Chains A and B, each alone.
Chain A
Amino acid sequence: MGRFGKLVAAAAIALAAVTTAQAAGEQAELKKVSLPHMNPFGSYDFAAVQRGLQVYQEVCAACHSIEFLAFRDLNDTGLTPPQVKAIAAEYTVMDGPNDDGEMYERPAEPKDRFPLTFPNEQAARAANNGAYPPDLSLVVKARIGHENYIYSLLVGYADPPADKELADGMEYNPTFPGGQIAMAAPLSDEAVEYADGTKATVDQMARDVTTFLAWVSEPTLVERRQLGIKVIIFLVIFSVLMYAVKRKVWADLH
């Protein structure tokens, strides 16, 4: 690289540094959460996924749907097929038409997806003071900051500073862009009673729900990483062999 090139390169690097600093903006810095699957080679903590499912069912599901999650997917979280069947049976789904042309309700089965909380966006807004609780199927992949954002949002509720004007029905949460959010603080200590006896602190529940939603967003993460390690090991060995072959083939020219 030439002298001028180096100069311009240095300027470009300095510029990139300025950018990163500016990017923060009007949103509070996210708290860093450390979950096992966030390690590049890590796997999901499936006990936490199961606890997160419980928090989702008992707290979040009142407003938020997970349209892409089927009950049978829960088989991958360590729950046994009878347990999954029992969870599904707690829900009713619309089926039909039957031979009389009628739609009918029946208990959900593992093949079904989790029923939607609201039939459409308008119904959701009508029930939530105009706010629209987003579907959570992909939420961890669909937010800047990913797991850190979800965790920070859930534990980020606080009393508003004196100078902060909140709109009617809004809550103060500095993690949310703009600082005010229509969702009231969803978690409080002992909001659920964990089946496995874990103490249900806000922090614990926030971690568990974050783990659960990460799994819902990317259920194939563990399989992907396992395959990736094999593929890369193969390619590294193959590359070394091809390099040796290349050396040998070219040797007579050098």
Chain B
Amino acid sequence: MPLFNANNPIVKWVDYRLPVFSFADAHLIDYPAPKNLNYWYNFGSIAGIMLVVQIATGIVLAMHYNPSADQAFNSVEHIMREVNYGWLIRYMHANGASMFFIAVYIHIFRGMYYGSYKSPREILWWMGIIILLLMMGSAFMGYVLPWGQMSFWGATVITNLFSALPFIGEHIVTWLWGGFSVDNPTLNRFYSLHYLLPFVICGAVFVHLWALHHRKSNNPTGLDIKGPQDTVPFHPYYTVKDILGIAVFGIFFSVFLFFMPNALGEVDNYIKANPLSTPAHIVPEWYFLPFYAILRSIPHKLMGVIAMGASIMILFVLPWLDTSRVRSATFRPVYKQLFWIFVVTCLVLGVVGANPAEGIWLWIGRIFTFIYFMFFLVLPIVGWFERPRPLPAGIAESVLEKSGGGSSGDEGRAA
């Protein structure tokens, strides 16, 4: 479905010199996408839109924010009270970070469920993990900028993790801080990096999409695209579906943004940073809680840091830990169980991370940290003994089967 006239002389002139029109046609319009993608596949485009929202609101905030230990907190209140719609921009940015993580976490779980990390999409998967790591760095440094109590003490706790490294740890921490405690130099460099990283994320997203468009999307059956009968052009089929997903997600976002904008934050961050007074409980933002729980469940500081790092790094080798030749969990009865145990484990670790590391919480944290890593360790074995259910002949056949046996009314599956 051409959106522009390829015979228009101006289009031809430009396209001959810089193929923007051919590029748009190949990647946004005629790009062949599997015809059976369900609504779980919407979260990639939703995450992309959230990145745009974060950059757009962030640039406006940067026009009014003052990155100095004396004025940072005051300038945030200036934005909230005196800048026209400053409250809207700031709440969009603060809640937008959470929405970005929600979209990305669902996107990652979807990739795990349908085996999207498996050959030939390993580098696509790696780029996704790199984006997640960049997001974490960016979110952490962004949370420091309002210079409230949780900003300051969160920054202190997290940067101090590097002191666990033998010999050089203390030096690295001093170097990160730009001094002997979290102070003005720390705030300034975090601000600089917080502005930089989103553009690095954009670059990583470009490579992520490059790899995606080279090998094309996976799909709920996990089967390869065998021919044109398996695909539909991206436009209008998935443009309209992605806009629908973004609109519905926008409603969810708006409920937080307009009616409970501080629900995902910590009350202590409305108190100015005070290096002389430590909050009773130092808690990171919700999207870090599972990793924080893993960190604290290990009694040894360095080992805790290593376990926390490993909990994400292990995702890089997931394509090789999974030895099954079948991609989609739909046809893998044992892996499907494991997947849901893994999802619940992440949620439980999140709850554990929000609670003080003592008493029963410590033990729940340890048990579920163990389960978290066991998931990855039993995967190679599962691939050997699991008996996959019979696979459909192809993507097109699976769609026909569904609508033929149909009347399920499940729009997502039929789509």
A positions within 8 Å CB-CB of B = 1-6, 8-9, 11-12, 15-16, 18-19, 40, 68, 73, 134, 137-138, 141-144, 146, 177, 217, 219-220, 223-225, 227-229, 231-232, 235-236, 238-239, 242-243, 245-247, 249-250, 253-254
Given A138-B77, A232-B255, decide whether A8 and B341 contact each other with a Cβ distance below 8 A.
yes
Q: Please, which residues of chain A bring their CB within 8 A of the CB of B251? A: 232, 235-236, 239
Q: Are B270 and A2 in contact (CB under 8 A)?
A: no
- Chain B nearest CB from A68 CB (Å) reads 5
How far does the alpha carbon of A9 sit from the alpha carbon of B344 in the complex, in Å?
6
The yes or no answer to B262 lying at the interface (CB within 8 A) is yes
Tally B residues with Cβ within 8 Å of A: 50
Among B137-145, B234-242, B293-301, the stretch that binds chain A is B234-242
Interface residues of B (CB under 8 A from A): 35, 74, 77, 80-81, 87-88, 91, 232, 236-237, 240-241, 243-244, 247-248, 250-251, 254-255, 257-259, 261-262, 267-268, 270-271, 280, 336-337, 339-341, 343-345, 347-348, 351, 355, 360, 364, 399, 403, 411, 414-415
- B244 near A246 with CB under 8 A, answer yes
A–B complex contacts, Cβ < 8 Å, 16 sampled: A2-B336, A2-B340, A5-B341, A12-B344, A12-B348, A12-B351, A142-B268, A143-B267, A220-B81, A223-B87, A228-B258, A235-B251, A236-B251, A245-B240, A249-B240, A250-B237
Alpha-carbon separation in the docked complex, A225 to B88 (Å)? 11
Q: Is the interface of B mostly helix, strand, loop or mixed?
A: helix
Is A2 a contact of B247 with CB atoms below 8 Å?
no
Tell me whether B250 and A246 are in contact (CB under 8 A). Answer: no
Cβ-defined contact, B337 with A142, below 8 A? no
Name the one of A4, A144, A220, A247 contacting B337, with C-beta atoms under 8 angstroms.
A4
**Measured between alpha carbons, how far is A8 from B346 in the docked complex, in Å?**
11
Give the tally of cross-chain contacts (CB within 8 A).
116
Smallest CB-CB separation from B345: which chain A residue? A8
Q: Is the CB of B351 within 8 A of A15?
A: yes
Question: Is there an interface contact between B80 and A231, defined as CB atoms closer than 8 Å?
Answer: no
Given contacts A238-B247, A245-B240, A254-B403, contact A142 B255 (CB under 8 A): no
Contacts of A146 in B (CB 8 A): 267
Which B residues are CB-close (under 8 A) to A144? 267
Chain B residues in 8 Å Cβ range of A242: 240, 243-244, 247
Alpha-carbon separation in the docked complex, A26 to B340 (Å): 37
Inter-chain contact B351/A16, CB cutoff 8 Å: yes
